[in-house]
C-alpha cells in the first residue's frame, strides 16, 4: 500500500503557532492537543471550545434525483428530510456492515451535503458515485478540499457566535443548518456536533478558514479554548457517541451498535444492505454495545477483553479513556448476547481482571 503524503488543513499554521501537539490522523496532520487535554475537555463542558475539523469529507449530491439516490445509497430516508435540516445516518455494504456513519444536510430541495469521516471519505465518495449510477439526474461532487470545518462547542458557543453573525442562532434547531455570514464571511452554520454539548459547526471556504478561526477566537476571548482530537474523543465517549473504527466497523451492523432506528425500511425503493438488514431486524442481535465504568483507576482501552462472571472472555472494549467529568475510567464495548444479564463483569487490563460496572449509555447528558 502506498503511503500518500500527509495533508495539512488550512489552519495548520495556526495550530503550529499555538504550540499544538500534532498527530497524523486519517492522512492529515491534526492537532491532538494544544495544552492540557483535560482542560480542553472541561472548557467544552463548562464554557466553549474551538475545533478544526477540516479533515472531514464534504460530498455533495445535487439534482432532481439527489434525494432518491441517497435513499438508495444510505440506510436513512433522506428524500424526506426537510430543507435546512440534518440527519445522522450510515452507509452500509450489502451484508449490512457499516462503511461509515454520516451526517447528511439538506441545503436546498436538490442539494444535499454528506459529511463523512476523513478516513472513509474516499470509500464513501466511491460508493456514492457507484450507487448513484442508476440516477441520471443526480450528480456526486467531492468538495472536501474546498471546505474547511470549524466547530464551536459548549454552553457559551451561541453567545460567542452571536457576536459575529446576524443569523438567527437562537431559532436554529439541533440538527438544522442555515447559510449566513460569520464575521462577514459566507458560512453554512449547523447546530450539530460530537461533544454532547450544544454547539455549532461552520462550513466555510478553505480560503476563509483562517479569518473565521481568528474572528471566533477573538469573540470567544477567555471563554473559548482551542481543542484537539484528544478532547474530542473523550467528549464524544462521555456522550456515548460511536466512533468509526472503534464502535462501528464493516463487521458491525447498525443493530449491533444499538442504532437500528436509523435503518428506514419503510422508505420508497430498494437500498444497499436492505435484505441483510431486514433479516437482522427481527432477531435479537448477537452482541450489544454497552457502557462500562471501572471500579478502580486503571483504564479499559480499545481491544481489551471483557470477561464474564464465569471467567471467560465475552466481549471486547471498543473505546476507553479516563473520563474528566466522572473522574473515573469509562469504556464502551461489545458483549455477547449470552452475557447480556451478566452483572459481574471484569476487563482484562494487561493481564489482570479489573472489576467494572455495566451502565446505560450515555455516561454524560447535558442539562438542557
Partner 1 sequence: MSTVPETLSYTEEHEWITEPAEGVVTIGITAYAADALGDIVYVSLPQEGASVEAGEPCGEAESTKSVSDIYAPVTGEVVAVNGSVEEDPAVINADPYGEGWLFKIRKDGESPDLLDAPAYSKLIEEA
Q: Which residues of this chain interact with partner 1, rule CB under 8 A?
A: 21, 32-33, 36-38, 230, 234, 297-299, 301, 321-322, 329, 350
What does the alpha-carbon distance between residue 332 and residue 121 come to, in Å, rounded to a whole number? 25
**N- to C-terminal Cα separation, the chain:** 47
In the complex with partner 1, the residue whose CB is nearer, 42 or 129, is: 42
In the complex with partner 1, the residue whose CB is nearer, 38 or 217, is: 38
In the complex with partner 1, the residue whose CB is nearer, 264 or 301, is: 301
In the complex with partner 1, the residue whose CB is nearer, 181 or 297, is: 297
In the complex with partner 1, the residue whose CB is nearer, 25 or 175, is: 25
User: Look-up: residue for cell 452482541?
Assistant: 287
Residue 122: count other Cβ atoms within 10 Å of its Cβ: 14
Q: In angstroms, what is the minimal distance from the CB of 189 to partner 1?
A: 30
In the complex with partner 1, the residue whose CB is nearer, 16 or 136, is: 16
Q: In angstroms, what is the minimal distance from the CB of 217 to partner 1?
A: 23
Write the DSSP string, 297-354: SSPP-TTPEEE-TTSSEEEEEEEEEEETTTTEEEEEEEEEGGGTT----EEEETTEEE
Measured CA distances, 8 to 13, 22, 107, 145, 314 (Å): 9, 11, 27, 11, 41
User: Look-up: residue for cell 450489502?
Assistant: 94
Residue 85: count other Cβ atoms within 10 Å of its Cβ: 15
Q: In angstroms, what is the minimal distance from the CB of 351 to partner 1?
A: 11
In the complex with partner 1, the residue whose CB is nearer, 163 or 298, is: 298
C-alpha cell at 348: 482484562
- Residues listed for the chain: 368
Q: In angstroms, what is the minimal distance from the CB of 101 to partner 1?
A: 22
Q: In angstroms, what is the minimal distance from the CB of 314 to partner 1?
A: 23
Q: In angstroms, what is the minimal distance from the CB of 126 to partner 1?
A: 31
Q: In angstroms, what is the minimal distance from the CB of 191 to partner 1?
A: 27
What does the alpha-carbon distance between residue 298 and residue 350 come to, in Å, rounded to a whole number? 10
What stretch of H or E contains 48? strand 48-52
Amino acid at each position: 500500500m502506498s503511503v500518500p503524503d500527509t495533508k495539512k488543513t488550512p489552519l495548520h499554521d495556526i495550530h503550529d503557532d499555538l504550540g499544538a501537539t500534532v498527530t497524523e490522523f486519517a492522512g492529515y496532520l491534526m492537532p491532538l492537543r494544544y495544552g492540557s487535554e483535560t482542560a480542553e475537555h472541561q472548557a467544552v463542558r463548562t464554557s466553549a471550545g474551538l475545533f478544526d475539523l477540516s479533515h472531514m469529507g464534504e460530498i455533495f449530491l445535487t439534482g432532481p434525483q439527489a434525494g432518491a439516490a441517497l435513499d438508495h445509497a444510505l440506510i436513512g430516508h433522506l428524500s424526506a428530510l426537510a430543507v435546512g435540516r440534518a440527519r445522522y445516518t450510515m452507509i452500509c455494504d450489502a451484508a449490512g456492515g457499516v462503511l461509515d456513519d454520516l451526517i447528511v444536510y439538506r441545503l436546498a430541495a436538490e442539494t444535499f451535503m454528506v459529511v463523512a469521516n476523513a478516513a472513509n471519505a474516499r470509500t464513501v465518495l466511491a460508493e456514492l458515485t457507484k450507487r448513484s449510477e442508476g440516477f441520471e439526474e443526480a450528480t456526486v461532487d467531492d468538495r472536501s478540499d474546498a471546505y474547511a470545518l470549524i466547530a464551536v462547542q459548549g454552553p457559551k458557543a451561541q453567545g460567542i457566535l452571536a457576536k459575529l453573525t446576524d443569523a438567527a442562532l437562537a431559532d436554529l434547531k439541533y440538527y438544522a443548518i442555515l447559510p449566513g455570514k460569520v464575521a462577514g464571511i459566507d458560512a453554512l452554520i449547523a447546530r450539530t456536533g460530537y461533544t454532547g454539548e450544544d454547539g455549532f459547526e461552520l462550513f466555510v471556504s478553505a480560503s476563509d478558514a483562517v479569518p473565521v478561526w481568528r474572528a471566533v477566537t477573538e469573540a470567544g476571548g477567555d471563554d473559548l479554548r482551542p481543542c484537539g482530537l484528544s478532547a474530542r474523543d473523550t467528549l464524544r465517549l462521555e456522550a456515548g457517541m460511536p466512533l468509526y473504527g472503534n464502535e462501528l466497523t464493516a463487521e458491525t451492523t447498525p443493530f449491533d451498535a444499538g442504532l437500528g432506528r436509523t435503518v428506514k425500511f419503510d422508505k420508497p425503493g430498494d437500498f444497499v444492505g436492505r435484505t441483510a438488514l431486514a433479516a437482522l431486524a427481527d432477531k435479537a442481535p448477537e452482541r450489544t454495545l454497552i457502557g462500562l465504568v471501572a471500579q478502580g483507576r486503571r483504564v479499559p482501552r480499545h481491544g481489551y477483553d471483557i470477561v464474564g462472571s464465569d471467567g471467560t472472555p465475552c466481549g471486547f472494549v471498543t473505546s476507553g479513556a479516563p473520563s474528566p467529568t466522572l473522574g473515573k475510567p469509562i469504556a464502551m464495548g461489545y458483549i455477547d448476547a449470552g452475557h447480556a444479564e451478566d452483572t459481574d463483569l471484569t476487563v482484562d487490563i494487561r493481564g489482570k481482571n479489573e472489576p467494572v460496572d455495566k451502565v446505560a449509555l450515555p455516561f454524560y447528558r447535558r442539562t438542557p
